[in-house]
Amino acid sequence: MTDEKSSIPPWAGRLPFEPDKKKPHKFRVEDCLTRLYGKNNHKVLTGTYLSTDKLSCSSFRILPGCYFEPYDIHGGDEIYYLAAGSGTVLNPLTGRTYRFEAGEFMWIPQGVWHQFYNFGNEEACIVTAFAPKMWSDMGTHVTFDEDPVIYNSKNIDWRKIPKETGYKDDGKAKTLGCFPANGPAARKSQDIFVTKPSQALNLVHGKENRMLVSFFVSNDFVHAGTMTLPAGFESDDETHKGDELIYVAQGSVSVIIKTKDFDPASVSVERYEVHQGQRFFIPENTKHSYVSFNRKNSRLVFFIAPEL
Ligand SMILES: [Fe+2]
């Protein structure tokens, strides 16, 4: 199903809602548009869950020894959360190669070429988000027409493997909205950024009930990270200016949507139970809170775009 003119599928920006009809929504693992991406024996199984005017979310899996082809590029920043396994990502334009492990995040800025390899022994499971969109107006068929920088192929001197990154810090502090790098400068650098849990912007959040919020990426397009909810936790109310998608990495969460006529004494609250592996969408400007009925801590991955 592609639009003849642009090759961008008609669901882009409106999955599963039109932009003016967004509402809270729970996605089960199977509630996605599946697709085989790539060619020959390098195909990977992808599933797309959400595509609004601000944020899109998918997942993909790559078996050990496999990689996706052709090289990929997007009309927005892409964030990978590695749910399982390990990953190696090549930028074919610069030859720079980045590795990450389960529990870590990778930020591929808008317009940066990339290709994912699984050199590990386990299947790699990737949860991805794109903001503001997956494809530029040029469509889905943009191809990488140069010779990729692969060492030991002709004309590439392996002694010149780049050690320096392309990103030049413009002096802005590594604070919220500018982490781990400044968005516009990162997009010009053809660089890719990996953040480990120990490197995240970690903060203890909440008035009476505290949770751990860890930002792994925070820029002008998207904020991504994890929320660790203690057992028996009930969060403060929150409302974001941007669209939010959560993915339950561990445990489960009860998301409560607090509409204007919300009555805490009533049993008819809009409450959604979201279990490990499932996703939940919270549209911009929707007041909500999180409750954990678990006996262990729960961990949620969040993506919010563009503003917190
Ligand atoms: Fe990609």
The average pLDDT across 135-161 equals 82
Distance 1 CA to ligand 1 centre (A): 20
Q: Which residues pair with 243 in a beta bridge?
A: 305
- Global pTM value: 0.95
Taking the centre of ligand 1 as the mean of its atom positions, its distance from the CA of residue 73, in whole angstroms, is: 6
Task: Name which CATH class applies to 19-195.
Answer: mainly beta
What is the distance in A from the centroid of ligand 1 to the CA of 129? Answer: 9
For ligand 1, the distance from its centroid to the CA atom of residue 60, given in whole angstroms, is 10
Report pLDDT digits (tens) over 15-62: 999 999 999 999 999 999 999 887 777 788 999 999 999 999 999 999
Q: What confidence tens digit (pLDDT) does each residue in 99-135 have?
A: 999 999 999 999 999 999 999 999 999 999 999 999 9
25 C-alpha to center of ligand 1: Å?
24
For residue 134, how far is its CA from the centre of ligand 1 (angstroms)?
8
Q: Tell me which CATH homologous superfamily contains domain 197-305.
A: Jelly Rolls (2.60.120.10)
Q: What is the mean pLDDT of the chain?
A: 91
In the structure, ligand 1 is a single-atom ion and the residues with CB under 5 Å from it are: 72, 78
Q: What's the gap in Å between 78 CA and the centre of ligand 1? A: 7
pLDDT tens-digit map of 217-237: 999 999 999 999 998 899 999
**SS3 letters across the chain:** CCCCCCCCCCCCCCECCCHHHCCCEEECCCCCEEEEECCHHHCEEEEEEEECCCCEEEEEEECCCCECCCCECCCCEEEEEEEECEEEEECCCCCCEEEEECCCEEEECCCCCEEEECCCCCCEEEEEEEECCCCCCCCCCCCCCCCCCCCCCCCCCHHHCCCCCCCCCCCCCCCCCCECCCHHHHHHHCCCEEECHHHCEEEEECCCCCEEEEEEEECCCCEEEEEEECCCCECCCECCCCEEEEEEEECEEEEEECCCCCCCCCCCCEEEEEECCCEEEECCCCCEEEECCCCCCEEEEEEEECCC
Fold agreement (19-195, 197-305): yes
pLDDT over 90 percentage in the chain: 73
Domain ranges in the chain are: 19-195, 197-305
Cβ-based neighbours of 18, under 8 Å, separated by 6 or more: none
Residue 224 Cα to ligand 1 midpoint, Å, equals 16
Query: Residue 187 C-alpha to ligand 1 middle, in angstroms?
Result: 15
